[in-house]
Structure 1
Amino acid sequence: MRARVKQDEQGRRHAAEACIEPCAIESGMRIIGGKWTGSILWHLKDGPVRFNDLARMIGGASKKMIVERLRQLEAQGLVRREVVDSAPVSVQYEITDFGRTALTFLDELRKWSEGLPRTP
C-alpha cells in the first residue's frame, strides 16, 4: 500500500496514512542493504569464487559474517552454493541470474560514491 500525503494550511506535507507493508525501496534495502551484501555480490560478478578467496577479497568482514550473508543471499535466490569435489573439499559461490540484476544499481552506487566529496 502506498502512503497518502496531505498538505496543511502552511503548505507542509504530512502522511495521511502510513504504509501497512514496506514500500519497494524498504523491501529492496532489507535484501541488499545489509553490511557486506553488496560487496559479496560485486565480487561474485566475474564468476564462481571459492569461499576463502571471497573472504580475502572482502577483507574487513569476519568469515562468520560472510557465511551469514552468503546464507541469506542463497535463501533469497541471489547466490548459488556449490560443494567442489576436490582434495580438499571446498565450497564455491556464484551469483545467480536474479542476483545479476542487482549489479546494475550496485555499479551506479559505486560511481555515485566515487564522486562524493572527500573529507579531510
Structure 2
Amino acid sequence: MRARVVEDDRGRREARDACLEPCPIERGMRIIGGKWTGSILWHLKDGPVRFNDLARMIGGASKKMITERLRQLEGHGLVRREVIDSAPISVTYEITDLGRTALGFLDELRTWSEGLPQG
C-alpha cells in the first residue's frame, strides 16, 4: 500500500495509509546500509579473509565495529565465520552465496560514486 499525504485546514501535512512493514528498500538498507557493511562484503568477494587482514583492508573502522558488522552479516546469512585450529587459532570470514547477490549492486554503487564530483 502506498502512503498518501493529506493536509488539514491549518496546512499541517500527515501521512495516511502508510505501510506498517518497511518497504523492500528500507528492509535492504537495514541489512546492508550500516557503516562498513558494504566494504566488508566487497573485501570478502575474492575468498576467505582472516579477521586481522580484513581489519587492515578496511582501515578506518575499529576492530569492535568490524566484529559487530560481521556478526550482523553472519546473522543474516551473508557471511560465514570459520575458526581455524592452528597455532595460533585464527578466524576467517567468507561471503556466502546469498552475500554474493549483493556484489552486483555494490559494484554499481562503486561505479556510480566514482562518477560523482570530488568534494
TM over 0.5: yes
Moved over 2 A (4+): 4-8
Offset of residue 34 of structure 1: 0.3
Q: For residues 49 and 88 of structure 1, what CA distance do their matches in structure 2 show?
A: 16
How is 1:1-120 mapped onto 2 (pairs within 5 angstroms)?
2-5=1-4, 15-119=15-119
Q: Which runs of 5+ in 1 are unaligned?
A: 9-13
Identity %: 79
**Count of residues in Structure 1 that have an aligned counterpart in Structure 2:** 113
Contact 1:3 1:15 in 2 (8 A): no
Q: Which runs of 5+ in 2 are unaligned?
A: 8-13
Q: For residues 35 and 6 of structure 1, what CA distance do their matches in structure 2 show?
A: 31
Offset of residue 52 of structure 1: 0.2
Offset of residue 3 of structure 1: 1.7
Deviates more, 1:15-24 or 1:55-64: 15-24
User: How large is the RMSD of aligned CA atoms in angstroms?
Assistant: 1.6
Contact 2:6 2:16 in 1 (8 A): no
SS in 2 for 1:46: coil
* TM-score normalised by length of structure 2: 0.89
* TM-score normalised by length of structure 1: 0.88
Q: For residues 40 and 64 of structure 2, what CA distance do their matches in structure 1 show?
A: 14
